Amino acid sequence: MVILLSALHTDSISGIYGKSPPKSLDLNPIEMIWNEKKEFVRKRNIQNDEETVEDVLEFQINFTPAKCQAYINQLKKNKVIKIVIKNGDWSNC
């Protein structure tokens, strides 16, 4: 977590000020990114481990600081508001 927050600061990505509540997928941009990465790899016709590594690296190369910031902005704009409206319940959105 410390390394991640340091990298976010280095790339001037704002909006994450500490840990999200445990098991709160709605408040965790890392879970959102992980899901996107899994979908990216799943859609490929991977034949072996080497292709898996290549596809994961391709995803990481194309995942820019701007895209990461967009995830965080979306989270701040949409998810948090819905959770507050539901008095802290998971929004499933």
Residue 55 lies in a domain: yes
Q: What is the pLDDT of residue 54?
A: 92
Tokens encoding 6: 């340091």
Q: Which of 24, 40, 41 is nearest to 75 (CA)?
A: 24
Confidence of residue 84 (pLDDT cuts 50, 70, 90): low
Residue pLDDT, tens place only, 20-69: 555 666 667 778 888 888 898 889 888 999 999 999 899 888 888 888 88
Report the number of distinct structural domains present in the chain. 1
Residue 62 lies in a domain: yes
Residue 66 lies in a domain: yes
Residue 92 lies in a domain: no
Specify whether the backbone of 46 is left (phi greater than 0), alpha (psi in -120 to 50) or beta: beta
Domain that residue 71 falls in: 2-85
Does 86 have pLDDT greater than 80? no
How many residues are recorded in the chain?
93
Residue 91 lies in a domain: no
Q: Which of 33, 25, 20 is nearest to 70 (CA)?
A: 33
